[in-house]
Chain A
Amino acid sequence: MCLAIPAQIVEIIDENSAKVALGSVTKEVTVTLIEEPQVGEYILIHAGFALNRIDPEEAQKTLELFDSIDLTEHLGKLA
């Protein structure tokens, strides 16, 4: 029920609505809840509304954190 999905803004229609791309489909959503949405940005969509934008830098940092986990260190200890 509360699951939101990421989508990219492809066109701003007016101050309240935008077209977003969800994979290969495009859809019109209400963007009134976010400040100054821009084409190209990713937003989280739930029930036809953009809840918030996705921060690309933070997403990158989260991924890097996973990738920096160094298992060899632990494996070395076991050996």
Chain B
Amino acid sequence: MKYVSEFRDKDRFNKLLQQIEQEADPSRDYHFMEFCGGHTHAIFRYGIAQRLPKHVEMVHGPGCPVCVMPSGRIDQAIALAHDPRVILCSYGDMLRVPGSGRNSLLKAKGEGADVRMVYSVMDALAIAEQNPEREVVFFAIGFETTTPPTALAIKTAQQRELKNFSVLCNHLLTPPAIRHILESPEVRELGTVSIDGFLGPSHVSTIIGCQPYQYFVEEYQKPVVVTGFEPVDLLQGILMLIRQHNQGIFEVENQYRRGVTELGNVKAQMLMAECFEMRTRFNWRGLGDIPYSALRIRSEFAEFDAELRFSLEEPVSREHKACQCGAILRGVKKPKDCKIFGKACTPETPVGPCMVSSEGACSAYYHFGPIEVQVVEK
């Protein structure tokens, strides 16, 4: 496929690996965090983690919207799904994620709740039009990539005067989460992670552009390279970080120029601004409260806000005691540090979200991790 296969080319891949080998100074260590779960997945899938020189380490960040959704908000969706008036629409990624306890939307569906998996938010809108006697709620999750589509659906619902469509809005913003990691006392106290630079999420940046990361290079003096998801993209992004680090410079660089511009997709940004405003705080699974890190629906569109329509209160989350996702999302611990990894917690019986989502670090380790991990599988 065009724009895919060229960036999976084996020769280019090997050449870049050699180049990294040559340029990574053996007298220093390199710790780079990939914020995005899609990067984590690709780094394992293409064996990049294992093939990088020993002193170039990738630290896995929290950038998977499925992994960071607090269990209380999943409980909310499950409770709504059990309301007989409601058809609850969700992206497939969320169906198996445990809420508090071992409940999930899939389990609710098994118990008779009307839960429907949708591929696009527009499908949820169509379901609302086909079922005027029911309440259709879209469980909206995701970073800036999924937010403009939700905004468009809300606007369309308003134009079409749909009375039975609402959105349970859990959209999150990436820049505040990156800032939170850099400032997190846990990360500082534990001192186990020093982060020398970031691979920035490129598909988020198709919408927000490169500009928001300028703040990080200025404030924290960490290089950021916005990087694509194909193996060759990833290696080039890593090489660009190594070069900046070697030269002691910190800039925002764009490896994914084919899809990302400085300012991003302005039309999509305007749509987001029209429909959403910041929440003063949002509780992220594993990361805790992060100020101004999530969006809620503006009062102009209040009739489409499921939180108001169903008078929902701020949910309380209870996480499984053994689950180490919080430390893993911060890059402070590795999946194998969790006592139940590969035992009580597997992709078939996930305890924490990092094991459910294919972009979670635990799932990536389980499927593609080092040999000792695979021995645990049987």
Contacts and interface: CB of A to CB of B under 8 A. Distances in A.
Interface string B1-39: 111101100001001101100100000000000001110
B149 interface: yes
Interface in A48-66: 48-49, 51-56, 58-59, 61-63, 65-66
A33 B271 contact: yes
Contact of B149 (A3, A47, A56): A47
A3 B2 contact: no
Contacts of B127: none
Given A34-B265, A35-B267, A47 B3 contact: no
B63 to A, nearest CB: 8
Mostly helix, strand, loop or mixed at chain A's interface? mixed
Interface string B199-210: 001011011000
Nearest to A24: B1
B121 A47 contact: yes
A6 to B, nearest CB: 4
A67 B13 CA distance: 10
Interface residues of B, number: 55
B203 A3 contact: yes
B318 to A, nearest CB: 24
Interface string B251-278: 0000101111000110110010000000
A2 B12 contact: no
A51 to B, nearest CB: 5
B148 A33 contact: yes
B145 A4 contact: yes
Given A1-B66, A6-B4, A30-B152, A52 B206 contact: yes
A70 to B, nearest CB: 10
A69 B14 CA distance: 12
8 contacts: A1-B66, A2-B36, A30-B152, A33-B149, A33-B265, A33-B271, A42-B3, A59-B6
Interface of B: 1-4, 6-7, 12, 15-16, 18-19, 22, 36-38, 63-66, 91, 93, 119-123, 141-143, 145-146, 148-149, 152, 201, 203-204, 206-207, 229, 232-233, 236, 255, 257-260, 264-265, 267-268, 271, 357, 359
Interface of A: 1-6, 8, 22-23, 30, 32-35, 42, 44, 46-49, 51-56, 58-59, 61-63, 65-67, 69, 71, 74
